[in-house]
Every structure is written in structure tokens, then in C-alpha cells.
Amino acid sequence: MLPKSIEDIESIRVSCKTMVKKRALASSGAVLVPVPGVDIAADVAMLLELLPSINRKFGLTPDQIDELDPQLKSLLYGIIKTTGTNLVGQLITKQLILTVLRKVGVRMAAKQVLKYIPFAGQAAAAALSGSAMLYVGNAHVNECYEVAKKALDHTLQKAELA
């Protein structure tokens, strides 16, 4: 269900940003595990859980959108298309997550090298990992926020005309 007021949207945004911060801290911690690839696997797993949760809170999962009346559903997909996002209203898959992680690929590559340098390198790798998770998560929260806000604006305008 889409949020019914701007206050609801703002509250959801704050809640989602808190979720993102928690996952960023966990991502930073995963870097400290000395097994190659564990941190990347942890990031993928966290994003596979985080991004659909954000969509769900904003009422923007594919199932939630399918339950809307056809006119609002069409409007929503139009808004999603114009925002240029490929995560809002979509089924989040491992392949989609890997595509997103490639966008922050320089950070991810640097993290892999730095984590094998004792202390300072590990700290830098943890910071890079956390910042990459913050970047991806907060960008998705902001995209969902914009889509939900535009849908609400349209719904309110439509109600005023009726």
C-alpha cells in the first residue's frame, strides 16, 4: 500500500535510512573476516534483503503495485520509468545486486586490496565498504521517496479535481 500522506513518506524515509546505516555498519564489520570473498558475499546478501525491504516499506514491491487500481498502477510505472531507476518496483535478484555493486566497483576493488594491509588498510577497507553500502542504500531510499511523493502528489491533485 502506498503511503497516504507526506508525513508517512517522511517517516518511512527516516526508518529506511536507519536500516541502511545498520547494514553499512555490518558491511564494514564483514571486511574484517580474513576469508577472501566473504565481505562481497555478505554485501550481496545484505542488499538482497535491504532493497526489497525498502521497496516494501514504501509500498513499491511488484506485488504491492499489482494490487493497485489499473490507472494508479500505470501512473506509478510511468513515474518509476521517468526516474531512471532499475530497483524501484522490481523483483530484486542477485544479478541486479551485482550490477549495482559494479557501479561502486572502484570502492569494492580498493576494499579487496586494502583489507590485507594490517590495521590501517583494514580500517580503510571497512570505511570503503560501509560508504559503498550507504551510497547504494541511501540512493535507493531517495529514489523510492521521490516515486512515492510523486504518486501522492498525483493522487492528491486528482482528489482535488473530483
Question: Is 54 a domain residue?
Answer: yes
The pair phi, psi for residue 102, each rounded to 5°, is -65, -30
62-72 CB burial, b ≥16 within 10 A, e <16: eebbeebeeee
pTM: 0.83
Question: Is 136 a domain residue?
Answer: yes
| Overall number of domains in the chain | 1
**Model pLDDT, residue 109:** 55
CA–CA separation, 60 vs 80, rounded Å? Answer: 10
**Model pLDDT, residue 77:** 86
Domain that holds residue 83: 6-156
| pLDDT tens per residue across span 95-131 | 888 777 777 655 555 555 555 566 666 776 777 788 8
Question: Is 162 a domain residue?
Answer: no
**Model pLDDT, residue 119:** 64
Nearest to 137 by CA among 41, 37, 27, 4: 27
CA–CA separation, 92 vs 98, rounded Å? Answer: 11
Question: Is 1 a domain residue?
Answer: no
| pLDDT tens per residue across span 27-42 | 888 877 767 677 778 8
**Model pLDDT, residue 131:** 85
Task: Give, for 55, the enclosing helix (H) or strand (E).
Answer: helix 38-58
Q: What is the mean pLDDT of residues 133-158?
A: 90
Under the banding of pLDDT at 50, 70 and 90, the label for residue 147 is very high
Sign of the Cα pseudo-torsion (5, 6, 9, 15, in order)? negative
| pLDDT tens per residue across span 56-104 | 999 999 999 999 888 888 988 888 888 777 788 888 888 888 777 777 6
Question: Is 22 a domain residue?
Answer: yes
Question: Is 161 a domain residue?
Answer: no
**Model pLDDT, residue 83:** 77
Question: Is 147 a domain residue?
Answer: yes
Four-CA torsion 95, 97, 103, 109, nearest 10 degrees = -90
Residues 6+ apart with CB under 8 A from 144: 16, 54, 55, 57, 58, 60, 88
Sign of the Cα pseudo-torsion (145, 94, 32, 115, in order)? negative
How is 74-88 classified by DSSP, letter by letter? HHHHHHHHHHT-SST
